[in-house]
């Protein structure tokens, strides 16, 4: 009977009812707007970046930051105090490292809510993740294998053994069992993984690179090693970047050799040519030119690159260099070693903004430089991202 009555309502009355419902709904949305809008829409923008922050003690937060407007969005997702981030397949992956040993998957479409988290094994210390079809490939610092987990359940379903790649030499006479697998990058069905191969049992008590480091190419369809490439320099420490250089794509990363308290001028930024599977004969930026260990970098093109450098006196600098010639162009930022400020997190956005994370505990945040107008510093006071920035990455799928 109710259905018949509804059908018999005149068009004018239907219009009045729909108008009322529309106004009512709009008024309801206006009332709820601050919370709902912030949660669903203020979490990011097309040009925002992801920031892993930390208090270096009890925990950290994932934040999103828009460098063109210096806006830090309200969403704040609890993560581990020692974590790094990656964006892939329309998701943010938080790699919670030692003492949490898990992968945390955030959904950007719903305020970066955690939609999945799974363990990779206590004490395994995950470093990076790659997504391929229905599989997750995860590099582990404290293991001799590349583990494979189900994308649906997070359960371990296989592994690629690195046992044959463990170092066979130690100054103590007792080689350790880990290969120190770190950062990775995909190229088609190939996955490239960096193996540092450090000597954990060295008599010095530090972790020097007493063996060659490797770049390992894995076939993600067959779950097996394709090729092992010996690096021309040891101890790769930066994320791998796929960069268009000298007219074609290269994989680029920084090797630091002996770093920190055992620092030596012995490495630099190197490039791996994908078409030939060979290393570029010259370093894109050598430690001899930089004056210290190149901890991280970003490359804009053949003529402009940016490097975060730590020298033997623990002075920190952001330097500009020319990848085509390997020459130093200038210094953007310099922090003396006797000041308790470090630089952590370096990203060049697609719009040409260079983001530098500052770990000044009295005023932590992100500096923003515009590389399109002569590397001008846009915010003399670093933009706050709640806690201390540790890792900065694009919220866009890699090509």
- Token reading at 42: 């203020």
Place of tokens 């021309």: 232
pLDDT score for 372: 98
Residue length, the chain?
399
pTM above 0.85, yes or no: yes
What gap in Å lies between CA 342 and CA 337, rounded to an integer?
9
pLDDT score for 15: 38
pLDDT score for 235: 98
Q: Tens digit of pLDDT per residue, the chain (399 long)?
A: 333 333 333 433 333 433 333 333 333 333 333 344 444 455 668 899 999 999 999 999 999 999 999 999 999 999 999 999 999 999 999 999 999 999 999 999 999 999 999 999 999 999 999 999 999 999 999 999 999 999 999 999 999 999 999 999 999 999 999 999 999 999 999 999 999 999 999 999 999 999 999 999 999 999 999 999 999 999 999 999 999 999 999 999 999 999 999 999 999 999 999 999 999 999 999 999 999 999 999 999 999 999 999 999 999 999 999 999 999 999 999 999 999 899 999 999 999 999 999 998 889 999 999 999 999 999 999 999 999 999 999 999 987
**pLDDT tens digits along 209-268:** 999 999 999 999 999 999 999 999 999 999 999 999 999 999 999 999 999 999 999 999
What gap in Å lies between CA 362 and CA 315, rounded to an integer?
19
What gap in Å lies between CA 235 and CA 210, rounded to an integer?
9
pLDDT score for 7: 37
Sign for the CA dihedral angle at 141, 145, 149, 155 comes to negative
pLDDT score for 126: 98
pLDDT score for 362: 86
């Amino acid at each position: 009977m109710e259905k018949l009555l509804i059908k018999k309502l005149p068009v004018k009355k239907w219009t009045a009812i729909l108008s009322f419902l529309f106004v009512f709904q709009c008024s309801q949305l206006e009332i709820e707007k601050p919370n709902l809008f912030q949660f669903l829409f203020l979490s990011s923008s097309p040009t925002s970046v992801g920031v892993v922050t930390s208090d270096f003690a009890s925990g950290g937060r994932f934040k999103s930051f828009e460098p063109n407007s210096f806006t830090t969005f309200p969403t704040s997702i609890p993560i581990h105090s020692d974590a790094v981030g990656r964006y892939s397949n329309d998701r943010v992956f938080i790699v919670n490292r030692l003492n949490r040993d898990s992968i945390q998957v955030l959904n950007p479409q719903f305020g970066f809510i955690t939609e999945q988290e799974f363990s990779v094994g206590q004490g395994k210390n995950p470093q990076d993740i790659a997504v391929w079809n229905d599989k997750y490939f995860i590099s582990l610092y404290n293991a001799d294998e590349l583990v494979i987990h189900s994308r649906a359940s997070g359960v371990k379903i296989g592994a690629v053994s690195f046992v044959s790649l463990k170092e066979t030499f130690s100054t103590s006479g007792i080689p350790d069992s880990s290969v120190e697998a770190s950062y990775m990058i995909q190229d088609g069905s190939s996955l490239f993984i960096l193996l540092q191969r450090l000597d954990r049992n060295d008599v010095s008590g530090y972790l020097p690179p007493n063996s060659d480091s490797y770049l390992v190419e894995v076939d993600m369809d067959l779950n097996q090693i394709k090729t092992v490439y010996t690096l021309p320099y040891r101890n790769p420490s930066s994320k791998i970047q796929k960069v268009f250089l000298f007219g074609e794509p290269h994989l680029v990363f920084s090797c630091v050799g002996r770093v920190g308290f055992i620092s030596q001028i012995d490495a630099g930024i190197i490039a791996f040519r994908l078409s030939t599977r060979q290393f570029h004969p010259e370093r894109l930026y050598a430690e001899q030119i930089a004056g210290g260990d190149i901890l991280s970098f970003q490359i804009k093109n053949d003529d402009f690159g940016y490097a975060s450098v730590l020298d033997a006196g623990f002075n920190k600098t952001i330097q500009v260099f020319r990848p085509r010639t390997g020459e130093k162009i200038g210094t953007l930022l310099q922090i003396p070693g006797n000041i308790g400020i470090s630089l952590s997190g370096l990203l060049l956005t697609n719009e040409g903004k260079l983001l530098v994370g500052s770990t000044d505990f009295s005023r932590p945040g992100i500096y923003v430089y515009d590389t399109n107008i002569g590397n001008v510093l846009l915010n003399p006071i670093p933009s706050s991202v709640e806690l201390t920035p540790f890792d900065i990455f694009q919220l866009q799928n890699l090509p």
